[in-house]
Amino acid sequence: MSATTTRPTVSLNSDIGEGFGNWKVLDEETLLSTITDANVACGFHAGDPDTMARMCALAARQGVTVGAHVGFHDLRGFGRRYIAVPQETLANDVRYQIGALLAFASAAGTPLSYVKPHGALYHSAATRAEHAQALVKAMLSFERVVPVLCQTGSLLARFAEEAGIPVIAEGFMDRAYTASGTLLPRSEPGAVISDPELAAERAVQMVTTQTVTAVSGETIPMAVRSLCIHSDSPGAAVIARTVRAALEKAGVEVASAITRR
């Protein structure tokens, strides 16, 4: 008898609800029809109450899992500027954001299922102990502990696991990686991948081989259970559709990493 092979599985997440007031991010409804998990902005780097309510309702209708996309208090910089926030202040900021989205998700009849840091906070929590610990402390404040979506091998992943918080390892098919496994800064040429076919090729590589090709040409380990598509990237909806089609063609099951834990 031949050995049974396990079909690889991955979720597709995207940053959703990153408009503010009259400013909207295009194609969010199209993205929600393609992805499995929606990282909804909680008002600090983007988003507002009306946007949060609308995104949670749309996600609930389309059967998409909702997560809190928390960031530094930086609307002007879109949360992509590092802010030296004291640990307790950051923990309170994150509590505030999670609590706000929890209310809107509940109103939409869907659970808040995970937390993902945004932008500069994502990178800071990966390498700065005080910010990783602030996120963990904030998440443990709530009655129901949900998973954190973050970079594999990061300080945040380590501290979360030590605290009993489930970790969903994330990769980016629309961003370039350095040989050390970190994302190439957006200020560097080639940091953002806008070619849908190239993004799809990288997605298939990451899921089926658990590796990624760095900008140096090296192939490095990259264990992922979820892939992120940035909604503010040019042609994000096309990238999402192309990536999902390529994964399914390669025999990969696309399903929420949170609901199948």
Predicted TM-score (pTM) of the model is 0.91
What average pLDDT is seen over the chain? 91
Please state which CATH number belongs to domain 9-254: 3.20.20.370
- Give the Cα separation of 180 and 218 in Å (integer): 10
Q: Cα dist. 111→67, 144, 167, 208 in Å? A: 9, 10, 18, 30
Domain ranges across the chain:
9-254
Each residue of 64-100: pLDDT tens digit?
999 999 999 998 898 889 999 999 999 999 999 999 9
**In the structure encoding, which two tokens stand for residue 146, read together?**
């949900």
Q: What is the pLDDT of residues 93-142, one digit of tens each?
A: 999 999 999 999 999 999 999 999 999 999 999 999 999 999 999 999 99
Q: How far apart are alpha carbons 173 and 12 in whole angstroms?
A: 10
The one-letter amino acid code at 90 reads L
H or E segment to which residue 31 belongs: helix 28-32
Q: What is the pLDDT of residue 27?
A: 67
